[in-house]
Amino acid sequence: MFGILGKSLSTGIVTTKYPAAPPKVSIRARGRPEIDWTQWKDARPAAAACPTGAISFQDAGGHRTARFDLAQCIFCGLCADADPAIRMTNRVECAARDRASLISAARYKLGDDGAHRQLVPGPAPVATEPARPPAPAVSSPLESIGRQIQQRSRLIFGRSLHIREVDAGSCNGCEIEIAGLNSPVYDIERFGIHFVASPRHADMLLVTGPVTRNMELALRKTYDATPEPRCVVAVGACGCGGGIFGVNYATRGPVDAVIPVDVYVPGCPPNPHALLHGILRAIHREQWGRI
C-alpha cells in the first residue's frame, strides 16, 4: 500500500486539463482531413481511393459538385495519399449536433479532360440526407411542456449525467476508446458523468457501431426504456454514417436510421478527447472552463 501511495505522489496529477485547455493530441494522430478546395484539381482520384464513399462527386452540364462527408470518414488517409490538395490533421474536436453540418461541398467548372478548371464561387448544393425517424405525434399542451422540460434539462445535465453505452454492432474499437474515459488521464467522472448498467437509470445513450439487424429491436427497446428527457450520441464513423459497412443484408446503417440522434462524433475510432467533446457538446458544456 505504501508503495502505491509513494508512486502516486511521485507521479503527480496525470488528468488532462481538457476542456479547460485544448486537447493535447500527438502530431502523429489522425484527425479529420482538410481539403484545399481552391487548389483541388480533380476529385476523381480521392473519390476512387475512399473506401467508404466519404468523398464523392457528381458531374452535370460541364460542372462537378464534389462532396466530403465527415460522418462517413474513417480517417484512413488514403485520400491524402492520392491527392496533394488533401492533408490529414490531428484535429479531433469534430462532434456536431446536426448531421448536415458534417457535409461540405464545392462546385467546379470542368475542363475537357474532366479535371477542375475553376472553382465556382458560392455554396455548392449538398444532397440531403435521409430524414431521421419522426418523433411520435403528441397533441395538447403536454407537448409544449415537454419541450420546456427538455430545454431545462440541458442545464440540469450540466451538473450530473448518467450514460448507458450501447454496442449496436461495432468492431469494439470505439468501446476501447470509451473505456479510456474512465481512466485517470481523462477521468470523465470529474464532470459528474457516470456510466450506468441500465437504460432506466440513464440520461444519455452512447451508441456505437452500425446498427445490425439483430440489434435493431434491442436498440429501439433500450431507447424506449430510457426516461425522458433523453439524449443520444452516435459514436464513430459506423454510428454516424454507416462506416465501411453501410447498409447491407446484416446492417441498417447509421444510428439515426433507427432512433433519433442529438450529437454525432466522427472518427474510426474517435479518441477519448473526441468522445468527451461530443458528450459535453450534447449537454452544452464543450467550452467548459476554456479561456
Q: Which domains does the chain have, with CATH numbers?
A: 33-120 (no CATH), 141-282 (3.40.50.12280)
Q: What is the pLDDT of residue 27?
A: 87
CB neighbour class for 84 (10 Å; exposed up to 12, middle 13-18, buried from 19) = exposed
Distance CA 72, CA 47 (A): 13
Q: What is the DSSP letter of 143?
A: H
Distance CA 230, CA 214 (A): 24
- Amino acid code (one letter) for 3: G
Residue pair 253/210 in contact by the 8 Å Cβ criterion: yes
Q: What is the pLDDT of residue 151?
A: 52
Q: What is the pLDDT of residue 20?
A: 85
Spell out the residues 6+ positions from residue 118 whose beta carbon is closer than 8 angstroms to its own. 108, 109
Distance CA 26, CA 32 (A): 14
Cell 432506466, residue?
Answer: 200
**pLDDT of the chain, 291 residues: tens digit per residue:** 777 777 767 777 889 888 888 888 888 888 999 999 999 999 999 999 999 999 999 999 999 999 999 999 999 999 999 999 999 999 999 999 999 999 999 999 999 999 999 999 876 666 544 444 444 444 445 445 445 545 555 555 555 799 999 999 999 999 999 999 999 999 999 888 999 999 999 999 999 999 999 999 999 999 999 999 899 999 999 999 999 999 999 999 999 999 999 999 999 999 999 999 999 998 875 554 443
DSSP SS3 for 203: coil
Spell out the residues 6+ positions from residue 162 whose beta carbon is closer than 8 angstroms to its own. 193, 194, 195, 196, 201, 202, 203, 204
Going from the C-alpha of 269 to that of each of 28, 110, 220, 227, 256, the distances in angstroms are 15, 36, 24, 28, 18
Q: What is the pLDDT of residue 113?
A: 93
CB neighbour class for 115 (10 Å; exposed up to 12, middle 13-18, buried from 19) = middle
Cell 449536433, residue?
Answer: 97
Q: What is the pLDDT of residue 154?
A: 53
